[in-house]
Structures are given as C-alpha cells and as structure tokens.
Chain A
Amino acid sequence: MMLKVSDVKQFLYCPRVVYFTYVMPVHRKVTRKMEYGKEEHLEIERLERRRGFRSYDLSEGERRYRTKLCSERLGVEGVLDMHIVCGSGCFPVEFKNTSRHPGLNHKYQLVCYAMLLEEQYGKPVRHGFLYLIPGKRVHVVEITPNARTFVRKTLDQIKMMIARESFPPAPRRPARCFECEYRNYCADVV
C-alpha cells in the first residue's frame, strides 16, 4: 500500500488521525484554517521566486515547486512544497505556518521527503530546510542515518496499525485534541 508523507507527520502528532484516514474513514470538515493555509503557501511561493539563496546558506540554485515524489521501495508518496537544486546537491524545503520551534513531526516529514528526493535524483541529501512562514526564518534539519531509520520505523508502524486495524491510544498531550477535527470521533478524550 502507498502511504502519504503527511501520514508520517500526522502519525507522530496523533496516530488516531491516520487511523481515521485509512482504517475507519470518517467525514472531516475542511476548516477555514486549512483553506487559509493553502492560500498562504501560494503567497510564499510567489515571494520565494524573487529571493536569493542567502537564507539557505547557498550561493546559487534553482527552486522547484510542488514536486510529486514517489518511492515504491518505501511505499510512500507526497508533494514537496519546494526543493533547491544546485551544484552541491538538492535540498527539500517545507513551508510551515508556525512561529514556535518546529515540532518533531515536521522534522520527520522533511526527512521523509529527503529520502524521496534521494531516490529521485540518485544522490544523497545531507540536509533540508523548514521555512517558518511567520518570522520568515529558515530552520536547518540535518538528515542523519538515525533520522532515516526513525522514518522507516514510523512507516512500518503505520502499515502495521492499518493491517491490524488496531485503534491507537490518544496522544499524551491533551492540548492536541482540542484543535483536532476528529475530536468528535474519539469518545475517550475531552
């Protein structure tokens, strides 16, 4: 089965979101926040086209937007916001709408994209970037061997959860449930 890169992010935020997507699909309302997020991504894309590469610590390169990536081997596909191709390699960039330090789920989503880019270009990807929209800050993420292993393990966990149709426990941070669109379907959370 093919998973989405965003499943890695969701699973690490709350595994139940992935359960509700694959095992027991339920209706999910598209919120205003989600619509707004899409518009914002387009705006960033427009602004990025005019910028140099200084914030990525690169002297030159070419930006490629919304690239469809897929790996049969890993069983995962996704659309990457942007990547930079230059003489020293290629680097995935994900746009994130957060002013706080990016979460671990964002980090592993980027690592997963880096693994897909490697397969596409046949070259190792050493690091990637999380572009934090509110402060226009760029956060560097090193793609370490352990981070790759962690992503592979997470993909296996997701596949196992789907195959066994096992309902996972709720996240241990109740704050996450307050913001969740699936909250009504989880009977055991407030």
Chain B
Amino acid sequence: MYFLTEEEKKHLLKGLLPRSRELGIAEELRGWNWPAPPLQPVYDTVLALYEVANSYCPTNRDLYLRRVRRVFPAPSAAMVQGRVLHAALVHVLVSAKRLIYSVGVAQYQTICRELQELGPVNVESELQALAPEDAADLKRKVAIVTEFEKARIISRIQEILFKQPYIGEDSLAVLAIPVIVEQKLDGSFLGLSPNLSTDAFTVCEPMIVDLKFGERRDFHRLTTTGYALVMESLYEFPVNIGCLVYGSFRGDRLIINKDLHIIDDELRQWFIESRDEKARMVYEEIDPGFPAECYQGCHCYAACHG
C-alpha cells in the first residue's frame, strides 16, 4: 500500500520534489531550530504526536478528558479497525524482509512461495472488543489487505531480480520494500513523546508516510508534518514531503488513494500552533467545552454527555 504507482512517482519526481526545493521553507520552521521560538516548546507538557495532530473533536475535548480528567473511554470500532489493518500490513512487510534475508536470493522461488503461503496476522484479541458482525467484517478486510500486499511484494521481487542478476539480499530487501515501518523517534526536542513511531518512512527520498482507513480530513497532514519536524530535529536533514495513504473497501476490493504533499511553512506553523494550544490546555487544565456538534461515533460520547 505504501508503494507509489508510476503516475504517483512522476507526480513526486517532476512536480512535488522540484517544487519543494524551490519553495524554500522558512529556516525558523525547520525541525533543527527546535532550541528557538517558535519551535521551542512553551510548556513542559509532553504530548503524543497524534494528540497534537488529530482534531476529530472540534474542541479537542477528548484530549482534555484523557490528559486532565484521566478518563480513558474504550476505542471505537473505527479506531480498532485502523489499528488492526495497520498491523496486518506491517506483518506482511516485515515477514517479506525477514524471508529475503533468511532464505537468500539464490532461492528466490522459496521466498515467493513462502510469502504466498503467509497467513494473516493474528488479531483475535483485538476482535473481541467488537460486535460479532464488525469482527467478521474486519477479519475479511485483514485477509484482503494481506493478499493484496503479498502479491505486490512478490511482483516487485521478481521485477528486481530479472533486472539485477548480481543482486544480494540487503539490496533486494531495500529495493523491493523501500520503507522502514514503525520507525521509532524521540520527539522530546519538540515537546513530544520520546517514543513516537511513524507508520512508514521511505528511504530513497526522505518522505513520511501515514496510513489511514477512513474519510480524508485536512488535519491528517499534521501527522506527516509532525514527524517531518521530529526527523529534522533529530537528524538535521530536510524532510519536505509527506504522503497520506487512504485505504478503503469496495466489496472485496481494496481501493488506495494517496495524498502526496509538500510539508510547507503553513503546515509547520499549523502544527506548532496546535501543539502550543493543546499543551496549554493540558498544562492549565482548561476544559474546552463542547462543540456545536459532536462527530458521529465519537468514542468519548458517553464520557462527555453522560
């Protein structure tokens, strides 16, 4: 799901990359300038990156409940689905890498066969939280994602092997699966948790990738922006591009849409403002009140409205 199509690659290489370099990001908004305002954290409240980026509740009362009132409502079905499908994808990608290294290029047919036979990740414990029909539906989706990703990786391995007769395991693994999944990052320089984890990070061009199952929302780009800032604060190289991968299902088909975007000045400022506002809310224990309308299926509904 993280691999770009030919059109997306063209869009990235001919459109976004040159534009991102021309655009010029304000120096003060680069992650490596974390010791100075505006990046320097104002409060010593440590937030998780998703707490800064997500804004499903228009007033962010969910954050207040969790961090100030210490109320932890059970996750909604949509949240469980996102987590499980994400785990299904990680399972395939990591298993494929493991197979390449353990079996070796000489026996590539074994790699492909074993990958073909790989079963879906075990998510039984997660499914228990769901109603039986939701659990069955999610199981079906896990199988779809697993089969889709296996087929993609096998075809990539074969394509690379017919082009590169002398390739070794390490190179094959990087070319066939050029992403690091769940990369751990320390966000402390920016007032964020020291145990962050990006969904994926592409190795060829520094690009933060985040996987979503559900409707597109404008604040989703804050997730890629936050990770880009953290990467810059840690490694001091520019991260200019983000990619949101939206997965959805039409019957038994997996549909994938990508939102490739430049992590520009405005997104960076929006992320920092959001961090400061939310950190203040937690630090000063401010109840932000209720929005005009609570969103459908909010997992905090009972906690907020009794």
* A contact residues vs B (CB 8 Å cutoff): 101, 103-104, 107, 140, 142, 144, 146-147, 149-150, 171-173
Contact call B23/A172, Cβ cutoff below 8 A: no
What total of A-B pairs shows CB separation below 8 Å?
34
Contact call B266/A172, Cβ cutoff below 8 A: no
* B contact residues vs A (CB 8 Å cutoff): 19, 22-23, 26-29, 37-38, 40, 42, 264-267, 269
The CA of A140 and the CA of B22, in the complex, are separated in Å by 9
The CA of A171 and the CA of B40, in the complex, are separated in Å by 13
* Chain B interface SS verdict (over half): helix
Q: Which one of A103, A140, A144 has the greatest number of beta carbons of chain B within 10 Å?
A: A144
Contact call B265/A147, Cβ cutoff below 8 A: yes
Determine the residue in chain B with the shortest Cβ distance to A150.
B266
Given contacts A172-B38, A172-B42, A173-B37, contact A104 B23 (CB under 8 A): no
The CA of A144 and the CA of B23, in the complex, are separated in Å by 9
Determine the residue in chain A with the shortest Cβ distance to B37.
A172
Q: Which one of B23, B38, B266 has the greatest number of beta carbons of chain A within 10 Å?
A: B266
The CA of A56 and the CA of B265, in the complex, are separated in Å by 23
14 more contacts with CB within 8 A, not counting A147-B265, A172-B40, are: A101-B26, A103-B26, A104-B26, A104-B265, A140-B22, A142-B23, A144-B23, A146-B265, A146-B267, A147-B266, A149-B266, A150-B269, A172-B37, A172-B38
- What are the residues of chain B within 8 A of A150 when measuring CB–CB? 265-266, 269
The CA of A103 and the CA of B26, in the complex, are separated in Å by 8
The CA of A104 and the CA of B268, in the complex, are separated in Å by 12
Contact call B28/A144, Cβ cutoff below 8 A: no
- What are the residues of chain A within 8 A of B22 when measuring CB–CB? 140, 142
Contact call A104/B264, Cβ cutoff below 8 A: no
Closest CB of chain B to A100's CB: distance in Å?
10
The CA of A172 and the CA of B273, in the complex, are separated in Å by 13
19 pairs, A vs B, C-beta closer than 8 Å: A101-B27, A104-B26, A104-B269, A107-B265, A140-B22, A142-B22, A142-B23, A144-B264, A144-B266, A146-B264, A146-B266, A147-B266, A149-B266, A150-B269, A171-B37, A172-B37, A172-B38, A172-B40, A173-B37
- What are the residues of chain A within 8 A of B26 when measuring CB–CB? 101, 103-104, 107
The CA of A172 and the CA of B27, in the complex, are separated in Å by 17
The CA of A28 and the CA of B40, in the complex, are separated in Å by 32
The CA of A2 and the CA of B7, in the complex, are separated in Å by 45
The CA of A140 and the CA of B21, in the complex, are separated in Å by 13
6 nearest A-B residue pairs (beta carbon): A172-B37, A146-B266, A150-B266, A104-B26, A173-B37, A142-B23
The CA of A184 and the CA of B28, in the complex, are separated in Å by 28
Given contacts A149-B266, A150-B266, contact A104 B28 (CB under 8 A): yes
- What are the residues of chain B within 8 A of A107 when measuring CB–CB? 26, 265
The CA of A173 and the CA of B28, in the complex, are separated in Å by 12
The CA of A48 and the CA of B260, in the complex, are separated in Å by 40
Determine the residue in chain A with the shortest Cβ distance to B266.
A146
